[in-house]
Structure 1
Amino acid sequence: MASNEVVLSINLRDVKKASRTRRAPYAARLIKSIAARHAKVDEDKVKLSESLNNVLWSNGIQRPPSKIKVKITKREDGTVLVEYQG
């Protein structure tokens, strides 16, 4: 792993505070904000991978996972990619 990569286990417990029909999108926004904080960039420069999005939505909009392991990679152009680590 390069020095601009980090693997995090993110607790999504706070997603339960959102309305039942908004939990999966809320989880995606929460992961983006945590990744932006760790990479020290703005949230609009953070992109979630398709595999991560599929895992967030795997149980539907009402039941996203309670925790998830992700790999955060900061690229040369200043953007950040967040991938599902498994």
Structure 2
Amino acid sequence: MSAPEEEEPIEVRTYVVPLGRTRVASRKKRAPRAIRLIKEFARRHMKAEEVKIAPELNEFIWSRGIEKPPRRVRVRMEKYEDGLVKVYLAEEGQ
């Protein structure tokens, strides 16, 4: 059995996603709201319906707990032919 071939993304973009609007929510809902904001941002800017968040990005958002997500996060978004957008934490130096 051979491994499935990795699809090549048709578009790759790097963004800084502002997460200041998480401060509007109560403290116990901020990290989940940050994840929703990242997904909404990806849908709006990459014009996609389906958005997947990488585990590394999720761990970064939750690294300081549910009450104190970061104010902004630098991400790399990859869009594939089937309309799927995968969002990764951008590497330093980009």
Tell me whether the two structures share a fold, i.e. TM-score over 0.5. Answer: yes
State whether structure 2 residue 62 is matched by structure 1 residue 57. Answer: yes
Residue of 5, 9, 17 corresponding to 1:10: 17
SS of structure 2 residue aligned to 1:54: helix
| Amino acid in structure 2 at the alignment position of 1:24 | A
1:13-72 alpha-carbon deviations (Å, 9 max, x no partner):
111001100000000000000001111122xx0000000000000000000001100001
Q: Distance in 1 between matches of 2:54 and 2:80?
A: 14
- Structure 1: 5+ residue runs without aligned partners? none
Q: Distance in 2 between matches of 1:23 and 1:50?
A: 18
Mark the structure with the bigger radius of gyration.
2
- Structure 2: 5+ residue runs without aligned partners? 1-8
C-alpha RMSD of the superposition: 1.2
Taking structure 1 as the reference length, the TM-score comes to: 0.91
Residue of 24, 28, 40 corresponding to 1:33: 40
2:79 equivalent in structure 1: 74
SS of structure 2 residue aligned to 1:14: helix
SS of structure 2 residue aligned to 1:35: helix
| Amino acid in structure 1 at the alignment position of 2:89 | Y
Identical aligned residues as a percent? 40
| Amino acid in structure 2 at the alignment position of 1:11 | P
Where do 4+ consecutive residues of structure 1 move more than 6 Å?
none
Taking structure 2 as the reference length, the TM-score comes to: 0.84
1:46 equivalent in structure 2: 51
Aligned residues: 83
